[in-house]
C-alpha cells in the first residue's frame, strides 16, 4: 500500500512548496531557539542562518541559540540495542521544561522526525507516538509564551533504505498538513531536499547529501538554511547554491561566517551543559558566565566587521 501512496505524497509535498506563505519574524523577537537532534547539533544550518541574518539585519541583534541533542526523539521511543546497548535515545520530554525556563525564547524552531521512527518500516503505533510528541511540544512552547515554527525532518537517503525514507515522507506530509488543519507554522525542508537529491542523481548516480544517509554534508545544511530563510521571506536566495553565494555581497562575509561558527560552537555546548541532559558522550561546555564573556567579545568583532 505504501508504494501506491508515494506519488500522491510527492505531489502533495511539492504543492506545499508552491503555496506556502512566508513567515515574518515579529519585531519584538530577540532570542531564537533551535531544538532538534544530531543534525541540529551539527549546527551548520543554524550557523548559516545566523550569519546571513546578522549581515542583512545587523540592527535586529538576534540571539540564536542551538540546543539540538544527538539521538534525541520527541516520541520517547528508542530501539533495542541503541548505541550498542550503551544508552537509550534521549527524550525531549526529559529536558524541555528546563530549556524553556532557562533560555526563555521568543521564537522556537523545532525539527524532529529523523530518529522518531527509530529506523524501522512504517508502524502506526510509532507514528502516533511521533504525532503525540509533536503536539505536546507545540503546546508546551505556546504555553511558555513563545512562538513555534515546526520544521519537517530532512531526508533519509532511500539508497540506505527505501522503507525508512518513506516513513519520513509520511511524517513530513503530516506536519505540512497542520498548516491547514491547525494553522500551525510549518517550514518544509524535506521535499526540497528530496527534489534536489533526485535531480542531482539524474546527472550523477553516486551523488549523496549524506554519506551515512542521515547527516547532511555542507550542501545539505545549506539547503536546510536556504529553505528556512526562503520561508522567512528571503526570496533572493532561491537560485543560490551555497552559503558563499548568499553572503558574497556583504563586506567581510567570510570572516563573519567563521566568527559566527565559533560563537555557535561555544554557545551550544555551554547551554547543553547548563540545562542538563541524559545523553552521554557530549562535549562539556564552558560555564555560562565564561561562555557569555567569549560570545560578547565575538559579537563585538562581528559588529566591527559588519559596520
**pLDDT tens digit sequence for 51-108:** 999 999 999 999 999 999 999 999 999 999 999 999 999 999 999 999 999 999 999 9
Q: What is the mean pLDDT of the chain?
A: 93
Assess if residue 253 is contained within a domain: no
Contacts of 16 (CB under 8 A, 6+ apart): 176, 179, 188, 191
- pLDDT above 70 (res 128): yes
Q: Round to whole Å and give the CA distance between 163 and 142.
A: 34
Number of domains in the chain: 1
Has residue 305 been placed in a domain? no
- Domain annotation covers residue 306: no
**pLDDT at 202 > cutoff 80:** yes
pTM above 0.85, yes or no: yes
Domain that residue 192 falls in? 26-244
Here the CATH number for the domain that contains residue 122 is 3.40.50.1110
Let me know if residue 74 belongs to a domain: yes
SS3 49: helix
150-196 pLDDT tens trace: 999 999 999 999 999 999 999 999 999 999 999 999 999 999 999 99
Residue 163 exposed, middle or buried by CB count within 10 Å (0-12, 13-18, 19+): middle
Task: Answer whether residue 123 is part of any domain.
Answer: yes
The predicted structure's pLDDT at residue 307: 80
Residue 219 resides in a domain: yes
Note whether residue 297 is domain-resident.
no
pLDDT by residue (tens digit) across 234-275?
A: 999 999 999 999 999 999 999 999 999 999 999 999 999 999
Residue 259 is assigned to a structural domain of this protein: no
Amino acid at each position: 500500500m505504501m508504494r501506491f501512496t508515494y506519488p500522491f505524497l510527492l505531489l502533495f509535498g511539492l504543492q506545499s512548496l508552491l503555496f506556502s506563505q512566508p513567515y515574518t519574524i515579529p519585531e519584538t523577537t530577540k532570542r531564537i531557539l533551535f531544538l532538534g537532534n544530531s543534525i541540529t547539533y551539527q549546527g551548520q544550518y543554524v550557523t548559516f542562518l545566523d550569519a546571513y541574518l546578522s549581515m542583512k539585519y545587523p540592527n535586529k541583534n538576534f540571539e540564536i541559540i542551538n540546543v539540538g541533542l544527538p539521538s534525541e526523539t520527541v516520541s520517547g521511543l528508542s530501539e533495542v540495542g541503541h548505541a550498542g546497548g550503551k544508552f537509550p535515545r534521549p527524550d525531549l520530554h526529559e529536558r524541555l521544561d528546563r530549556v524553556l525556563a532557562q533560555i526563555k525564547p521568543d521564537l522556537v524552531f523545532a525539527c524532529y522526525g529523523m530518529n522518531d521512527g527509530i529506523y524501522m518500516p512504517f508502524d502506526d503505533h510509532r507514528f502516533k507516538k511521533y504525532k503525540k510528541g509533536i503536539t505536546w511540544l507545540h503546546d508546551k512552547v505556546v504555553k511558555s509564551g513563545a512562538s513555534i515554527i515546526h520544521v519537517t525532518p530532512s531526508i533519509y537517503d532511500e539508497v540506505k533504505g527505501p522503507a525508512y525514507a518513506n516513513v519520513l515522507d509520511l511524517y513530513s506530509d503530516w506536519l505540512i498538513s497542520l498548516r491547514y488543519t491547525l494553522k500551525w507554522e510549518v517550514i518544509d525542508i524535506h521535499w526540497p531536499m528530496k527534489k534536489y537529491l533526485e535531480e542531482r542523481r539524474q546527472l550523477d548516480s553516486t551523488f549523496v547529501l549524506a554519506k551515512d544517509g542521515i547527516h547532511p554534508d555542507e550542501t545539505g545544511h545549506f539547503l536546510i538554511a536556504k529553505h528556512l530563510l526562503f520561508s522567512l521571506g528571503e526570496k533572493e536566495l532561491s537560485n543560490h547554491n551555497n552559503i558563499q553565494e548568499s553572503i558574497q555581497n556583504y563586506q567581510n562575509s567570510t570572516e563573519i561566517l567563521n566568527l559566527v561558527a565559533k560563537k555557535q560552537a561555544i554557545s551550544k555546548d555551554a547551554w547543553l551543559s547548563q540545562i542538563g541532559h541524559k545523553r552521554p558522550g557530549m562535549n562539556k561546555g564552558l560555564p555560562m558566565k565564561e561562555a557569555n564573556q567569549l560570545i560578547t567579545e565575538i559579537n563585538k568583532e562581528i559588529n566591527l566587521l559588519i559596520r
